[in-house]
Chain A
């Protein structure tokens, strides 16, 4: 293939005044100035924060039951469902007498490897893992992003302080589900009252 050369010249204004760029610069500044009086389309983060929808998929938490124990029963549904393979659970034996025999002794989520897909939340049969609206995670080392059980329970404690109506917010989500065409009413009822026969 032959090589062709095309000469390109800079686009020039019509008159020499344009070519001094003085007037175009002022035109530009005018545009900027006009925007000062217009409606603002951005949030002034971090002073202003967006209220995120209740089904926002942020940092995980491990929820507690009414006695303050983690709800999780270490069934490993979440880690099995997780496409990023970032949940690690070691089940422990709570004792033969305990009504909650099986529980996690170790529960870790690598929040850096996580893709925040929410599959773990969907897979959980106990409503034990949930996602919060916290998304501004920052830390110094990679290891610090591996949240262990205590930290994940801590996230819940903190979250519940800000959203004491957490359960109700979930209800809100269910209402939305009910209005969407993806779920049937009985799906939602079941989800509310725990699955199963």
Chain B
């Protein structure tokens, strides 16, 4: 194994490992634009130049590997390469590269949504010149509408080609191309072939500058105001790891905080989603905007629904459950393990049956190309937790039709259930107005996954935690809180301090979850940061 020295640190480097990765391993940061761990190396931006003893000019760290040198050519008698990332030559090279990149850059940071997490801003500040020597006129290419959700602010492009490589290597759809050459090169799509695939949102995260902008998020907020929360996508049973960026809007006069999820970003997890998420998951919350949220508990009085207090609604629900006849508690593939577990526990305590409703089935989509080491699959099961719900409820499959014929049904939220015939008594714990809540006798408004914490089990049995990012609207409560309250209304002695306590109990009770490390799941997962992954 070659022995190298980077700055003052000695290390052994594997065959084929780049200087960039080696430096990263020992905590030395080298600035970069075109390099991305998930894409092929093109070494075109030259931002990562480092100085190597013996090399005639600085070399790009992202593509340079080191091999064993013959004894006679070793530096200082033992190193196969001696690299500096901070000497005068490197600093000058960085300055020069940034100067070239900035020649035609509009520097419209005030209206650029990337400002604050832009690599061009960061590196210019850290390594660049603070004055421009360019006195000619800047080239200002037209901005373009690339497709249903992406805008291209052409003049901001630094030609790193990450986006182009993404559509070539990851999605294989090849919509994006570099048009023209040299000074005139720009990113473009072919006429009549817009950027339109189920993973296109990723190019916005990929773009190191503000050139590719998501139409859904344009001008909605400034990134430094965001709070980031680790979450898991509920879009399908793949369970992609995500980050929710939320923002608090303060109304000056009311001192009222309204927080909203502003965007969803992928979170790197090599075992599940690598660096990406699909657009179904990314824009999932956008779709919720048009749907009617349930804000207050309701009970049916003389055929029509009336908003009542929590106490009244819980009492009404308890009365109906106690009224006799066959009672079935139906869990949900959209609810967390904890919520389903609690539902099962409550059902057992009151001697009722359990079941789980069916998830929505859709199309399975795999992005496969020759260059893609990890083909990305969007699963056909469009619910995050069918496997987990079955695990914790001790079921092997859904028996929906049979359970809906019971006398009394307590139903955890499932927006896709097409309920034809109403059971004689129906109690719905739901977040949105749906087929079930419309027919229900008692409606208990519940939080959605962004408003509470819990765990989902993905199709491979990986238990992953999502975290509370925002407050629930109106009087809606987390499902586990509703179930605890309902249990108490039913005379059961349920008490949990937090979701974590349920998770702990669940992992002790459910045999397949015995190995889940609860303390690791409930580590701190919300933060405000300076460095956002690119």
Contact = CB atoms under 8 A, between A and B. Distances in A.
A196 to B, nearest CB: 5
Interface string B106-122: 01011100010000000
B219 A74 contact: yes
A169 B107 CA distance: 28
Interface string A146-157: 100000000000
Interface stretch (A13-21, A23-31, A52-60, A90-98): A90-98
Contacts of A143: 253
Contact of B222 (A80, A86, A196): A80
A96 B111 contact: no
Contacts of B132: 196-197
A97 B134 CA distance: 28
Interface in A56-101: 73-77, 80, 85-86, 88, 90-93, 96, 101
B145 interface: yes
Contacts of B111: 73-75, 101-102
Interface string B84-113: 000000000000000000100101011100
Contacts of B222: 75-76, 80
Interface in A99-132: 101-102, 108, 110, 113, 125-126
Contact of B110 (A73, A85, A96): A73
* Main SS at interface, chain B: loop
A112 B324 CA distance: 62
B219 A102 contact: yes
B252 interface: yes
B529 to A, nearest CB: 16
Interface in B190-247: 218-222, 224-225
Nearest to A102: B111
Nearest to A76: B222
Contacts of B9: none
Nearest to B106: A196
Contacts of B110: 73, 75, 77, 102, 125-126
B252 A88 contact: yes
Interface of A: 73-77, 80, 85-86, 88, 90-93, 96, 101-102, 108, 110, 113, 125-126, 142-143, 146, 196-197
Contacts of B498: none
Contacts of A197: 102, 105, 107, 131-132, 134
Contacts of B151: 96
30 contacts: A73-B110, A74-B111, A74-B219, A75-B222, A76-B225, A80-B222, A85-B250, A88-B249, A88-B250, A88-B252, A90-B249, A91-B219, A91-B220, A91-B221, A92-B219, A93-B218, A96-B145, A101-B219, A102-B110, A102-B111, A108-B252, A110-B252, A110-B253, A125-B109, A126-B110, A143-B253, A196-B107, A197-B102, A197-B105, A197-B132
Contacts of A75: 109-111, 115, 222
Nearest to A196: B107
B251 interface: yes
A76 B224 CA distance: 10
Given A85-B250, A96-B151, 13 more contacts: A88-B249, A88-B251, A91-B221, A92-B219, A96-B145, A101-B219, A110-B253, A125-B109, A142-B253, A146-B252, A196-B132, A197-B102, A197-B131
Nearest to A94: B219
Contacts of B224: 80
A26 B120 CA distance: 78
A91 B112 CA distance: 12
B379 to A, nearest CB: 35
Contact of B252 (A86, A91, A126): A86
B252 to A, nearest CB: 5
A85 B222 CA distance: 15
Contacts of B253: 110, 142-143, 146
Contacts of B218: 93
B255 to A, nearest CB: 11
Contacts of B131: 197
Contacts of A96: 143, 145, 151
A93 B220 CA distance: 9
A143 B252 CA distance: 9
B344 to A, nearest CB: 45
Nearest to B107: A196
